[in-house]
Structures are given as C-alpha cells and as structure tokens.
Amino acid sequence: MLEVTSIEKGIVIDHIKAGFGIQLFNYLKLDNAEYNVALIINAFSKKQGRKDIIKINNEIDIDYNFLGLLDPNITINVIENGKIKEKVKLKVPTRVVNVIKCKNPRCITSVESYCDHVFHLVDEEKRTYRCEYCDDIVTPHINR
Amino acid sequence: MLKGRCLIDPADFTREEFRELFDLAHQIVANPEKYSKSCEGKILATLFYEPSTRTRFSFEAAMLRLGGKVIGFSEPNSSSVAKGESVADTIRTIECYADIAVMRHPKEGAPRVASQYLTTMPLINAGDGGHQHPTQTLTDILTIERLKGSVENKTYGFCGDLKFGRTVHSLIKFLSNYEGVKFILISPEELRVPEYIREEVIRKKGIPFEEVQQIEPYMNQLDFLYMTRVQRERFFNEEDYIRLKDRFILDMEKMKYAREDTYILHPLPRVNEISIEVDKDPRAQYFAQAKNGMYVRMALILKLLGIY
C-alpha cells in the first residue's frame, strides 16, 4: 500500500476523474512548485470507483471558477493544522472571462487582442458555453 | 424607453419596445413629410468596414430625410483603420463628433465590442460577419406587417445559406418571440443554421421547425419564403462556394407550387438565387422591402435619439 502522509496546511483537490489529475496538475503549473505536492492517480473511491487526488502542502490561490468549469464534481478541502478547515463545493460558473479562448476565426476576438474572451453558460448539464461576441458554442470541460 | 440605447442584437429590445418602434415606422410610411425636420442639427456617423449598398444608403437616406447630416467612411482604407486603429479607439473618437452611429464589420461581435466602450452615443449594428443584422430584421418585419398585418401565426420558409446568412439569424431570433410561428429551413447540409440558433433559439422556445433540402414540397405551406444569397465572401474555400451557390434557384416553375398569398422576401443583393422573371410576380416583395428599410431606420434613429 502506497502511503502519502497528510498535510499540515494547504489544499486537497479530491474526486478528480481518474486519468485527469495530470491535466489539472499541469493547468495549475504545479510542476514548478517549490513546496510539497502529491499527485495520486487511481486512488480507490466509494463514489467513483477510481479517482485522482492532488495534495498541495501550501496555501495557494486557486480559481474555483476555473476548476468548476473543468469539472464541477471536484471537491476542494482547505487544510489547516492538519484538519479540514473548509470544504468547497464547486459550481459550474455562469460567466467566465479569459479562461476559454474563442476559436471562431470570424470572431472579433481573433483580431483585436485587447478584447476579453467572455463566455456565458448555456446548458449546465452539457456544460456548454456561448461566446459573448460571436455566439459560438463550445464545451470546455474535461469529459466525464 | 429606447433613448440612448444600442441595437446590436434583436434580443437587445423587448417585444413592447419593438412594438413602439414599428408603430412609429407605420406612421412615418403614412406621412414621411411630418418628420422631415425632426433631426435638424443631429449627425449620424456611418462606419462601414465592409461594402454595402442598401444598408448604408438607406441609413444615410433615412437621416437626410429626417433633416440630419451624415459623416463616415464606406471602406476602411479611407480611415485610420488602415493604420491599424482598434474598433474601441475608432468608436470612442467618433463619439466625440456624432450623435448616433451605425457600424458594419466583417468580424462577428465587433459592434458589441464597440458598444462596450461608449458612454452615451447609441450604436446600431448594420451587420457583423455572418452573425447578426438586426436592422434588416426591422425591414423584414415592417414588410411582413404591411403585407399580412402581423407576424404571428405564420409559416416562414428560409432558403439558401442559413449558416452564414446573418439576416436569417436575426429574423429567426426575432420571430421566435411570437406565438404560432413555424419555420421550414431549406438549405444544403453544409449551410444549415448554426447550432446556437437551432438549439438555443428555436428548440429552446419550442418553435415547430423542419430542416429540409427541397423547396417544392413545402411551398404551399408558406406565408413567406425568405430567399438568401450564398455569400462568396464568407467562404474560406472557393470550391465549396462554387459547389453550393446554385443549389436553390427560385424560378416561375417553382412559384407554381406557391399559394396566391405566399410572399417572397430577400434581403438583397441578389445574385442568381431568384430568377429575374419572378420580379414581375406580385408576390415578389423584395424591392418594396428595401424601401421599408429606409422608413424603419428613420423610426429607429428617432427612437434612439429620444426625439419620438
């Protein structure tokens, strides 16, 4: 049995769909971290069967909107003094700015670089988003 | 209250606000002289980053017939845009000189971006890429109301390029707010309406619709047939354009299948998707539509400037 010790102060990102932990690890640029980080792949889960977990032994700012966009089933545990101080339930954000890029070559955002890339939630179940400017529909989440 | 507002997308105004606008447009049609000095001292700026005949001329004619004046450019090479100026900077500069502005742009969403940098000047979207063309919709609706009284409880056929046809997108978006409408969408597979129109507008509002690839079997169901041009400028690939451009041509042979009260509309310009012989048929209403465009733009200018 592989053992990863608990952390004193930091964040545990739990219930990541098995296989997607590495993507999230890369999104959060944790390969450059100067503190302890554990990426656990294929951990046993009662709910999911298998899941990935990321344990970060440091306080870092995480954009919950961004994580909710990727996968609202992820849970975040904020740890202090070795105990869970707060459990954060993610939501699918209704509006995201500069997280997804519009890929429509006819969209104004493709030529005017100062424009924010703004997307609005269209369908929570399908997790589809609409570009504020050209109305193009995209599905930016990690597929479950 | 429409004073000071922008019209970028048909969803920007409520049904009641559109009613107010069309009521004024009908009054202008009945007595245009009454409004000939309404915009004295006011300036309309026309920013056309893409060629246009009807839309630009009808806006300019509308402002001149209201007694106002017009400034602007009809192609971007004659302005600072050629030096690489952004839409945001251009519109903020224009706001210093004009009371109201109209923008046509090849990129989708450009007028929306511009509107976000304005403080008080109303801006009207005169067509953005293959996206939206709300004032063509105003033109279409005034024509429909003048021909059949109201837009409700009617079957509308849309034929041709429904993918890049911005006039189609705007008109569908508008009509979807009214009771009893039904759509027959006639296009080649490659030029079907975009997903956001089919899923987020038509299906979401529960509008009955069919997507088909032939005109004839559906002609006798239609109150209006809205023909569109396959637009060369929207294709990245010339071969696709050539393959699709002549797919639907409305001629007198096909008109035989239409009812006596089925009217043919077209936003113009036409290339060859409606045979010239059809022009003589009283059911062909596309040139009357162009004239209505000027009247309804007069009403829009008056409303956005808060004069009526």
Q: What pLDDT is recorded for position A4?
A: 64
User: CA-nearest residue of chain A to B112?
Assistant: A133
* CATH class in words for B10-132+291-304: alpha beta
Instruction: Say yes or no to pLDDT of B113 above 60.
Output: yes
Residues 78-107 (A) with a CB less than 8 A from some CB of B: 104-107
Bridge-based pairing of strands B209-212 and A118-123 is: unpaired
Mean pLDDT (whole number) for A33-51: 90
How far apart are the C-alpha atoms of B252 and B73, rounded to whole Å? 40
Q: Say whether residue B199 is in contact with chain A using an 8 A CB cutoff.
A: yes
Domains of chain A: 10-89 (3.30.70.140), 95-138 (2.30.30.20)
Q: What is the dihedral of CA B133, B138, B142, B145, to 10 degrees?
A: 90
| CB-facing half-sphere around the CA of B246: CA atoms within 13 A | 4
- Listed range (B78-82, B201-205, B240-244) with the worst mean pLDDT: B78-82
Which CATH code for domain B134-289? 3.40.50.1370
Q: Where are the beta strands (DSSP E) in A90-135?
A: 95-97, 118-123, 128-131
Give B224's DSSP letter: E
Q: Say whether residue A118 is in contact with chain B using an 8 A CB cutoff.
A: no
Pull the structure tokens for residue B261.
């009260």
Contacts of B108 in chain A (CB under 8 A): 104, 106-108, 133-135
Does the model's ipTM exceed the 0.85 cut? yes
Do the Cβ atoms of A135 and B88 come within 8 Å?
Answer: no
Tell me if domain B10-132+291-304 and domain B134-289 are identical in fold.
yes
Q: Say whether residue B116 is in contact with chain A using an 8 A CB cutoff.
A: no
Q: Say whether residue B173 is in contact with chain A using an 8 A CB cutoff.
A: no
**Mean pLDDT for chain A?**
88
Q: Where are the domains of chain B?
A: 10-132+291-304, 134-289
Which of B86, B107, B131 is the closest to A114 by Cβ?
Answer: B86
What is the pTM for the complete model shown?
0.86
Pull the structure tokens for residue A141.
């989440």
For the segment B9-33, what is each residue's pLDDT rounded down to a tens digit? Answer: 999 999 999 999 999 999 999 999 9
**Mean pLDDT for chain B?**
94
Q: How many CB pairs under 8 A join A and B?
A: 57
How far apart are the C-alpha atoms of B217 and B254, rounded to whole Å? 10
Where is A17: in which H helix or E strand?
strand A10-17
How far apart are the C-alpha atoms of B137 and B134, rounded to whole Å? 5
Q: How confident is the model at residue A144 (pLDDT cuts 50, 70, 90)?
A: very low
